Structure 1
Amino acid sequence: MAVPPLASSLPAYVGDNADSIAQLAVGHVWVVALSMAIATLAGVLLGLVAYRSSAAASVVITVASVILTLPSFALLGVLLALLGLGVVPVVIALVLYALLPIVRNTITGLRSVDPVVLDGARGIGMAPLQRLVRVELPIAWPVILAGIRTATQLVVGITAIAAYVNGPGLGRFIYSGLSQLGGANATNQILVGTFGVVVIALVFDALLALVGRATVSKGIRA
């Protein structure tokens, strides 16, 4: 009877697979960064378009909320059928999931600007675009950034499911480990993938915290 291979210790497994871990971690970071860049641009623009109208804001937030309730596997499955395997369906799914926190916080932040401040800006002759760029957005930015941070944490976690459609990321370790439960190193694969996702999430959040310290005016910093 064949003897099953012995599992390595976690440190030994990490050492033996350092190149693969690094490659998949870089892929995970890259797809999160790309998706968040697109989602931030799209979410802030949607918020800017909708925040002055209660009806428009309600529609945009409702649609984004419905998207967020869709099961990840279901949405990826639909995108897989339409677009095939790879990065494209993953990025589209991640952008869609990231929209709600960014759109909602953009609308909330812009609506929270004190009307007295806006009246003062009008009084000194600022045009609407100047008021938006120089007054409203800087005041709303801490709230918008909080939405971006929330969306980033969400996206880092959902990216782990990208292995389902052959996308990049540490989810491949998790997926491989779950498919081989009971086999040698299955637990190590799950632990490496899970711990790596947590580390990436913490790094992104720390970087965004630094962005906040560098970009939020001291006068409005919480």
Structure 2
Amino acid sequence: MSMFLTYVGENWAYLLELTYQHIVMVLLGLVLALIVGVPLGIAAARYRRLSGLILALANIIQVFPSLALLVLLMVMFGLGFNTVVIGLFLYSLLPVIRNTYVGLTQVGAPILEAGRGVGMSSLQLLTKVQLPLALPFLMTGIRVAAVIAIGVATIAPLIGGEGLGREIYAGINMDNQARLYAGAIPAAILALLADFVLGRLQRRMKLGR
């Protein structure tokens, strides 16, 4: 433990930089997943014939081993930051799509009929009724996707990425436990913090309904 504390004290600026890089990769992957996943979730809820296909494709991506997927992406897009972000985007898709779909399908028919009764268009029903009611479900998807992405991002250095995984793999290769813990502990704290903060937001949304 003393070696770990000494290493952190001497390299705290570098570790903060790695943490920042880790967070940026995860956030970009999540944002892309929201941009693509929410419309796909809406399409799955609106067109039931498409729902099976959309969810099946997202499931296939999710169950693909993370390292194998990143290697395939590396072959297609090369080494580096962009490839890692694409991988995190793909791994974040399923929770976003599935929870958007579930949230929208949970809105009761009487509520929709009431909206149509006051003259709401399909777009108005979606934006003013369905999506606000589905937000707690969507937040669950974002919460799950964030935790998954933080974990997957630790293997980014294997395909030329940055982040806390650099310290983890340096610690493994050099048999240096201080460096291993210096990467693993902040990554674990990030995952716990993301789960806690997004969980609080989710509960607030449920209480506000």
Q: TM over 0.5, yes or no? A: yes
Query: Residues 94 and 64 of structure 1: is their aligned pair in 2 closer, same or farther, counting only changes over 3 Å?
Result: same
Instruction: Please state if 1:187 is matched with 2:177.
Output: yes
Hey, what's the Cα distance between the residues in 1 that align with 2:206 and 2:69? Answer: 39
**Structure 1 stretch displaced more, 24-33 or 204-213:** 204-213
Instruction: Please state if 1:37 is matched with 2:27.
Output: no
- Give the C-alpha shift of residue 54 in structure 1: 2.5
- Give the C-alpha shift of residue 97 in structure 1: 0.6
Q: 2:188 aligns with which of 198, 201, 219?
A: 198
Q: 2:115 aligns with which of 98, 116, 121?
A: 121
**Structure 1 stretch displaced more, 44-53 or 129-138:** 44-53
Hey, what's the Cα distance between the residues in 2 that align with 1:219 and 1:152? Answer: 23
Aligned to 2:69: 75
Deviation per residue, 1:129-168 (Å, 9 max, x gap): 1110010001111011101100110000000010111212
The percentage of aligned residue pairs carrying the same residue is 37
Hey, what's the Cα distance between the residues in 1 that align with 2:156 and 2:170? Answer: 12
Equivalences for residues 1-222 of structure 1 within 5 A: 9-181=3-175, 186-212=176-202, 216=205, 218-220=207-209
- Give the C-alpha shift of residue 213 in structure 1: 5.8
**Higher helix fraction (1 or 2):** 2
Hey, what's the Cα distance between the residues in 1 that align with 2:89 and 2:41? Answer: 15
Hey, what's the Cα distance between the residues in 2 that align with 1:189 and 1:57? Answer: 45
2:46 aligned counterpart, secondary structure: coil
Give TM-score, length-normalised by structure 2: 0.94
- Give the C-alpha shift of residue 201 in structure 1: 1.4
Query: Residues 217 and 69 of structure 1: is their aligned pair in 2 closer, same or farther, counting only changes over 3 Å?
Result: closer
Hey, what's the Cα distance between the residues in 2 that align with 1:115 and 1:168? Answer: 48
Give TM-score, length-normalised by structure 1: 0.89
Unaligned runs of 5+ in 1: 1-6
Report the AA paired with residue 137 of structure 1.
L
Hey, what's the Cα distance between the residues in 2 that align with 1:213 and 1:146? Answer: 10
Count of residues in correspondence between the two structures: 209
Hey, what's the Cα distance between the residues in 2 that align with 1:189 and 1:9? Answer: 9
- Give the C-alpha shift of residue 202 in structure 1: 2.3
Deviation per residue, 1:88-143 (Å, 9 max, x gap): 11011110011111101111110000100000001111111111001000111101
1:113 aligned counterpart, secondary structure: coil
Report the AA paired with residue 159 of structure 1.
A
Unaligned runs of 5+ in 2: none
Hey, what's the Cα distance between the residues in 2 that align with 1:212 and 1:75? Answer: 30
- Give the C-alpha shift of residue 218 in structure 1: 3.6
Report the AA paired with residue 20 of structure 1.
Y
Aligned to 1:4: none
